[in-house]
């Protein structure tokens, strides 16, 4: 599942910003510089795993991972229930500031950006014992005998084009169509575009 769920927002050194591996926008050089300066100020001094102070345990909240390149290395900060603890200000202000900055940028990309496409896709398959499905397309690599727990594979060129044409791109696991490999094993299958960093 995690392989089918791309980062909510990814920013690259050439100014390309991609939201959910679905929409893209190019930042001006000055915008990119300002963004990186702000993120480094907000995140560089934070620990890799941040802990909220004075906040009671919140069940089933999301874990947010924020990252920025500092001195040539990616520095990430993981914060559980960051959004849910906003009113309590359980985390350092810099984490909320970075979250707001990136959230606003994601909204802008979804509003102003264009569809993000590439000639590479990530194909993801999960086993669905007992289910029926269509025959696996012969032009697309299928799970091997050792892939009982599922598989993911990056395809390019003709194979990627065939995967986009045949398989449905779905975000929710329950919506994935099912296909049977040559051994008759059923797999739920989806795909997403690959980011430049993958």
Whole-number pLDDT of residue 4? 65
Given a contact cutoff of 8 angstroms between Cβ atoms, the answer to whether 187 and 1 are in contact is: no
Strand order in the sheet with 134-135: 134-135, 178-180, 186-193, 120-127, 151-156
Q: pLDDT digits over 155-179, tens only?
A: 999 999 999 999 988 766 567 899 9
Q: What does the domain layout of the chain look like in residue ranges?
A: 2-115, 120-193
When pLDDT is cut at 50, 70 and 90, the band that residue 72 belongs to is confident
């Amino acid at each position: 599942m995690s392989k089918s769920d791309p980062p909510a927002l990814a920013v690259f050194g050439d100014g390309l910003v991609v939201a959910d591996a679905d929409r893209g926008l190019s930042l001006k050089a000055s915008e990119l510089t300002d963004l990186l300066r702000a993120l480094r100020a907000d995140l560089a001094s934070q620990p890799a795993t941040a802990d909220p102070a004075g906040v009671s345990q919140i069940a089933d909240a999301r874990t947010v991972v924020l990252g920025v390149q500092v001195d040539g290395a990616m520095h990430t900060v993981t914060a559980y229930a960051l959004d849910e603890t906003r009113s309590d200000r359980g985390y350092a202000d810099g984490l909320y500031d970075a979250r707001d900055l990136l959230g606003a940028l994601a909204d802008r990309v979804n509003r102003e950006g264009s569809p993000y496409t590439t000639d590479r896709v990530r194909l993801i398959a999960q086993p669905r014992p007992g289910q029926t499905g269509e025959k696996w397309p012969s032009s697309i690599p299928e799970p091997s005998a050792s892939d009982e727990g599922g598989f993911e594979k990056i395809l390019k060129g003709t194979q990627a084009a065939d995967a986009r044409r045949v398989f449905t791109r779905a975000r929710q696991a329950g919506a994935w169509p099912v296909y049977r490999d040559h051994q008759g094993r059923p797999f739920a299958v989806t795909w997403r575009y690959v980011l430049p960093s993958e």
